[in-house]
Structure 1
């Protein structure tokens, strides 16, 4: 077996799956549960107990919003559709949009009231007008959660108010935020509105990233005594986008500090890097009895990693094949593999193919090659028999 060590390659490689376990050791946060996700790939770059279902508080209102946007996309309602305000909605406590009983409000204004003002009353208006009741709307939320692959989530209400069956993981919140971002791009503006006025009451967006961090786009905060303070944040910088989700914090001030620090870390500590592109020549293999002494090797896929920069720095790659290869060779033959390893990750192998054909030597050329080998003296210290 002929081994080409990584040092002969002019390229480095990155992994197809992020080393989240290692990343957890590289990032520290006071949040009890946290996640960082790359928006483009959906890869979970960092997780701190990120798959555990916990009380999501008002961050679960993202699911309420997602259901509404999904119905708009299906053409069943529109932003201009008026929804009726019941007495129950008007009386709902907690954070409020301050809807007025026996009035009508458009879906667009209700979405602003939910996202910007975190209005529990607005959520009840939406639930009653779409499904008839909170309970029926929660069933719709659960059905959509299953369809969208939210594995660690269950819903009992549209508000996020405490209930034993209202649970979401940080991973699911990140997945949901990404789903909204990609599936309903024309409504992204709703998540970065700095303030909203209803019933002559102006309330500022509670998201600590909006207005304080360049590129911040949303998406939702949450707080109850049970859950602590949390936030789902999304930001874009230099063509990349990251989602940060944290919960279990002790105060608004701590939520603000943690959200900003985690988002900065999400961009500064992690990198998306492509080391090999489809059909790129990555090295050569030696050839015996051919018109050429070597043949270029190409890879048939893009290989990209998104993970912590410190982990990327430890990447190693090597070309392995049983050689020298015997001519003739056709173009497109799999003759080698590219082995890659990141610190702490298992070795991955990617097939390599001949990038061009190599003709074999003719009869007289082979005779000459044999004579040349016979006449070539052995190296010093070696014997010949």
Structure 2
């Protein structure tokens, strides 16, 4: 007996309103930042919370020193240098203007000291020393930075130097700076605590105003704690900050630029962090094993199988309720028997208004469904013949 399986229904959909009982949620009121460009990201849930001109390539000022640090951290990880490796200081490095680590040509700073000089003192001289020490020249180093940025998915970044010194060919988007910030936190946890340090004085040469300018590091008594990353300022770029803060199990990374004063940068940074932590909450919206939908089964001992998530579905959702989030169970059906419990059959697509992209969660079979016996196949054959007869009569 030859049986013909029905053609699969493309993306058979089950509206979540009839199948799911999810949290009420609504778009969080967007933070009305005064920054000309901004990007805010919840690292824990990989959720973009805010974008404002985030993909526009802008002067990054000293925030682009994060890329120089990334190149140095990669050299450490690869074993090309160690924390005790020493670099020479060229006259070009020594004569760099702006923020400085106060190096001179007689110094032989270690990699450890240079990292502190870049992070804490924002030393332009230290950046040139690193560039020349790793690539021979700053121009060669800038070319390597561009190549590495592309490999890391940073499409709106181009580098002309290692320090962020004003140059028409030196640009980064706030999203790229955010991607880079997340990388430094997650890929190099052994070095990341340096970003929370507030004081470094190489050979007792640095005045007090040469220390870390990140305004969030000085804040105490809040329910969150900032621990990085890098400030930036030039007359062209304005005041900016690539920052990060933690609250419990959550971490937020944000990048802002284009502010007019240091005080405005401090206020915007604090406001963004408060908004990110207090307007969004972590919720388990669907529990592991909860039956969300049924998929029809072809030639099985049972006519359908339940669709369930294999794990708890935990999401970041806006704290206030206004609209409801929507969800759909999507699968190709009917499913041909046999079906094994835990077999991937489709996905749950949850959309939260106000967030950037739907959350997609695999759905699996709740139970086994064995292949049907002779009578199941006979019944299916008669149903198929009956369907053909109706089609013929209708034509």
Answer whether TM exceeds 0.5 for this pair: yes
Specify the alignment match of 1:241 in structure 2: 251
In the alignment, the residues of structure 2 paired with residue 303 and residue 3 of structure 1 have an alpha-carbon distance, to the nearest angstrom, of 18
TM-fit CA distance, 1:261 = 0.7
In the alignment, the residues of structure 2 paired with residue 74 and residue 3 of structure 1 have an alpha-carbon distance, to the nearest angstrom, of 50
Specify the alignment match of 2:386 in structure 1: none
Give structure 1 stretches of 5+ with no counterpart: 364-385
Find the partner of 2:159 among 155, 171, 176.
Answer: 155
In the alignment, the residues of structure 2 paired with residue 263 and residue 3 of structure 1 have an alpha-carbon distance, to the nearest angstrom, of 38
Deviations 1:203-248 (A, max 9, x none): 3210011121542110000000000000000111111111011000
Contact 1:57–1:161 (Cα < 8 Å) also in 2:
yes
* Counterpart secondary structure, 2:118: helix
Find the partner of 2:281 among 266, 271, 282.
Answer: 271
TM-fit CA distance, 1:39 = 1.8
Deviations 1:239-265 (A, max 9, x none): 111101100000001001111111111
Find the partner of 2:290 among 281, 285, 295.
Answer: 281
Find the partner of 1:123 among 127, 148, 152.
Answer: 127
Specify the alignment match of 2:263 in structure 1: 253
Matched, 1:74 2:84: no
TM-fit CA distance, 1:81 = 0.7
In the alignment, the residues of structure 2 paired with residue 330 and residue 302 of structure 1 have an alpha-carbon distance, to the nearest angstrom, of 22
Contact 1:42–1:175 (Cα < 8 Å) also in 2:
no
Contact 2:330–2:349 (Cα < 8 Å) also in 1:
yes
TM-score by length of 2: 0.77
Specify the alignment match of 2:103 in structure 1: 99
CA separation of 1:303 and 1:78: change in aligned 2, threshold 3 A: same
TM-fit CA distance, 1:45 = 2.1
Contact 2:283–2:315 (Cα < 8 Å) also in 1:
yes
TM-fit CA distance, 1:37 = 1.2
CA separation of 1:311 and 1:227: change in aligned 2, threshold 3 A: farther
Matched, 1:229 2:239: yes
CA separation of 1:300 and 1:223: change in aligned 2, threshold 3 A: same
CA separation of 1:282 and 1:127: change in aligned 2, threshold 3 A: same
Specify the alignment match of 1:210 in structure 2: 217
Deviations 1:77-119 (A, max 9, x none): 0111111112211111011111122221111111111111111
Contact 1:4–1:318 (Cα < 8 Å) also in 2:
yes
CA separation of 1:96 and 1:349: change in aligned 2, threshold 3 A: closer
TM-fit CA distance, 1:41 = 4.5
| Farther off after superposition, 43-52 or 246-255 | 43-52
Find the partner of 1:29 among 26, 33, 39.
Answer: 33
* Counterpart secondary structure, 1:44: strand
CA separation of 1:311 and 1:232: change in aligned 2, threshold 3 A: farther
CA separation of 1:272 and 1:78: change in aligned 2, threshold 3 A: same
Give structure 2 stretches of 5+ with no counterpart: 1-11, 376-395
TM-score by length of 1: 0.78
| Farther off after superposition, 135-144 or 337-346 | 337-346
* Counterpart secondary structure, 1:100: coil
How does 1:1-385 map onto structure 2 within 5 Å? Answer: 6=17, 9-12=20-23, 26-200=30-204, 201=206, 202=208, 203-212=210-219, 214-276=224-286, 280-283=289-292, 285=294, 296-300=306-310, 303-306=313-316, 308-310=318-320, 314-317=324-327, 332=341, 340-343=350-353, 353-357=365-369
TM-fit CA distance, 1:314 = 1.9
CA separation of 1:75 and 1:8: change in aligned 2, threshold 3 A: closer
RMSD of aligned C-alpha atoms? 3.8
In the alignment, the residues of structure 1 paired with residue 365 and residue 245 of structure 2 have an alpha-carbon distance, to the nearest angstrom, of 40
* Counterpart secondary structure, 1:244: strand
| Farther off after superposition, 97-106 or 150-159 | 97-106
Contact 2:305–2:365 (Cα < 8 Å) also in 1:
no
